[in-house]
Chain A
Amino acid sequence: MKKQVTLWQDYFKGIWEINPAFKQILGTCPTLAVTATVENGIAMALATTFVLTFSSFIISLMRKLIPSQVRIASYIVVIATFVTIVDLVMKAQFPELSKSLGPFIPLIVVNCIILGRAEAFASKNGPLRSVLDALGNGTGFLIALVALSAIRELFGSRSVLGLQILPDTFEPMIVMILPAGAFITYGLLLGFSNTLAERKKRIAQEELVRKYKPVQKAGSEEIISQEA
């Protein structure tokens, strides 16, 4: 029973608690670069998840065999191998998509999410948990990329996933699919998610104060006003 819980935990924490794009602020470059359309965003997230999952799996299997001095180098080779596989497959089967993602597929190699999870999790845990962790982080990354690209595509091209949503009278805001729009949208999303998280924390804290100091009403107010 307990094990069940931790396994779920391994998967779910990647979605919000340690969401790579919103909490760890890793993998920023692809997050910004490929989110002009939802299609690209999803493709990028899937490619990343693929590499992340397989390399986590392999690295977790080999974790006891690799001497720690050449740890990073070995990880990089493993990751680079999977990235090359993705790159070649995409080029062979989806030439259009491969073109629009540009150099960002090869760059998955240096995406810090992958090396980060390899170092922080896969090198210390068994294959099952590592794969779940990788899938969780991949899902978190996917959610973030979809959120970002949906906003950008909606305002920048009036559509989501190629389907026109906003009416023709709405002039598309080209800036949203330009670098500036990417930075600003990501910044705003991040800011609002932080604000939300902070408010949650504050409310929880107030709750605690109220619970444990039911008599000192004035005192609790003071703490709140200090927070604000």
Chain B
Amino acid sequence: MKTAIHMIATLLIIGAISGGLLSGISNWADPLIAMNKQKATEEAIFLVQPEGKSYEHLNAPGVEIYKVFDGSNKPIGYSLAYEGNGFQGKIRVMVGLSSDLNKIVSMEVLEQVETPGLGTKVTESHYKDQFKNLVTVPSLNWVKEGTAPKENEVIAITGATISSKAVVAIINDGMTKLRKLQQGGKL
């Protein structure tokens, strides 16, 4: 009986000390962590909307969408965060869109776990710069190298066709959802 009490007491004491210590540290760290996250998101939003100065998080089901305003508080478009499957795992992109959703301002890959040196080329500028001023109607498309792209087409990276294709597909997917929202007047 005595040892049992001893056992429980020890565990409780260790647990309490640990809990106290951790709650202290987490009180210090949590705001920092939240800030880091916030900062990252903010950076991305403005990265794809270079003219943007402020933004508003729209409450839309199923998509993470921000309305972006310029210095004079005039809405200049949207920033859409969306994700889907790439070659190895999830790819998460942020797309800046014109207000009528018919044009991409610019595109940024936020997260990906593609093969370094191959699929990771989708984060490099010669690929993602293709998305600047890309027309999104009827939908994006991709072509192989050596083919002249139309105004809604990007050239896939040789050796990483799958990742390139995936980015296009992810954006198309997100656009479909956005258009539905737009029709429902929810934007």
Contact = CB atoms under 8 A, between A and B. Distances in A.
Chains A and B touch (C-beta atoms under 8 A apart): yes
Interface of A: 36, 62, 65-67, 69-70, 73-74, 77-78, 80-81, 84-85, 88-89, 91-93, 95, 156-157, 172, 174, 177-178
Contact of B3 (A67, A81, A157): A67
Contacts of B116: 36, 156-157, 174, 177
Contacts, number: 62
Contacts of B10: 65-67, 70, 74
B148 interface: no
A contacts with B: majority SS: helix
Contact of B11 (A70, A80, A93): A70
A167 to B, nearest CB: 16
A88 B14 contact: no
A78 B18 contact: yes
Interface of B: 3, 6-7, 10-11, 14-15, 18, 21-22, 25-26, 28-29, 32-33, 36, 40, 115-118
A69 B26 contact: no
Given A73-B11, A77-B18, A88-B29, 11 more contacts: A66-B10, A74-B14, A77-B11, A81-B21, A85-B22, A89-B25, A92-B29, A92-B36, A93-B32, A174-B115, A174-B117
A68 to B, nearest CB: 10
Nearest to A174: B117
Instruction: Give 7 nearest A-B pairs by CB, closest first.
Output: A92-B32, A88-B29, A81-B18, A92-B29, A95-B36, A174-B117, A70-B7
